Amino acid sequence: MPAKILQDAKEALESVNANQLIKIYAAKFLFEDTSSREQITDRISLKKYFQQLFALPQVSFTDIRIIEADQFAVIEWTWGGVKRSTGEPFRVRGVSVMELAENRITRESIYYDPRPALS
């Protein structure tokens, strides 16, 4: 049942916990950040990706909404923090589209506009 893994993903995002987040991925997976065109297929690189993201000043993930089916899910989220360059707060809405198998994420593609966080 996907509900537990999706709840685990929600809790890991809300607590910005990279270690918890990478546990929900299958042994073989694809993580795709469509905005940066980055593709990750190993846990070490995925953990580094999340650690860098979560290290941003006052980073948070809120307004998380899960839409699920048997083999896929969509998670809407709002990413917020403070720009290092200006000290101004930012908020970015995004979505993760996930393929699920055997209670794990086998593929995740994230879609968002990074400009508010970078400008």
pLDDT bracket for residue 1 (50, 70, 90):
very low
Q: What is the pLDDT of residues 95-114, one digit of tens each?
A: 999 999 999 999 999 999 99
Considering the entire predicted model, what is its pTM?
0.91
Burial class (CB in 10 A: 0-12, 13-18, 19+), 115: exposed
**Which domains, ranges and CATH numbers included, belong to the chain?**
2-118 (3.10.450.50)
The Cα-based distances of 93 to 27, 37, 86, 114 in angstroms read: 29, 18, 20, 9
Q: Which pLDDT tens digit goes with each residue over 38-90?
A: 999 999 999 999 999 999 999 999 999 999 998 999 999 999 999 988 999 99
